[in-house]
Amino acid sequence: MTSVDREDLSLNDAATHLLEECRMVLPGMQALFGFQLIAVFNTTFSERLSSAERMLHLTAIVLVTMAIALVMTPAALHRLMEPLAVSRRFIRISSRLLMWSMAPLAVGICLDMYLVSRIIVGTRGVAATVAVSLLGVFIVLWVALPRLSRRQSG
């Protein structure tokens, strides 16, 4: 897409799109958070995972909680900063918060994928390979691809 193909949004439309994007991401984060919490109460949780692995799961829960907080912040900012208006500053800050939420979400997912892979496969090396590969996928799709697309569009 070239800059000729792009149409700039009004601040109001940009804010609407941004808040919709936050609303789109949030249910997935909340579902993951719920599954993370349920896992702890499963009787096999402490039997199949070492103490260090249970701490990894706790770390994953904290990271997903941070991602949820970051993705929910734009709505609070809008209500508290500018409930009757939209500014470029709000769009800029909220866009950054949404993007920052992707990092702890990706790492949290990868940590839990490590644990699930370790339980299924039984070896830490394979589990680590799965988790690191998945992190690579997130980096390519969430960081590299958007930057490449931005560069190509001018």
4 pLDDT exceeds 80?
no
Per-residue confidence (pLDDT) for residue 1, from 0 to 100 = 45
**What distances in angstroms separate CA 138 from CA 28, 73, 102, 122, 132, one per listed residue?**
15, 22, 9, 24, 10
Q: Tell me the pLDDT band of 154, cut-offs 50, 70 and 90.
A: low
Per-residue confidence (pLDDT) for residue 3, from 0 to 100 = 52
Per-residue confidence (pLDDT) for residue 77, from 0 to 100 = 86
Q: How many CA atoms does the CB half-sphere of 87 hold within 13 Å?
A: 10
Reported as a single tens digit per residue, the pLDDT across 77-110 is: 888 887 788 888 888 998 999 999 999 999 999 9
One-letter amino acid for residue 88 of the chain: R
In the predicted model, what is the mean pLDDT of the chain? 89
Q: What's the distance, Cα to Cα, between the start and end of the chain in Å?
A: 8
**For the whole model, what pTM was predicted?**
0.85
What percent of the chain has pLDDT above 90?
56
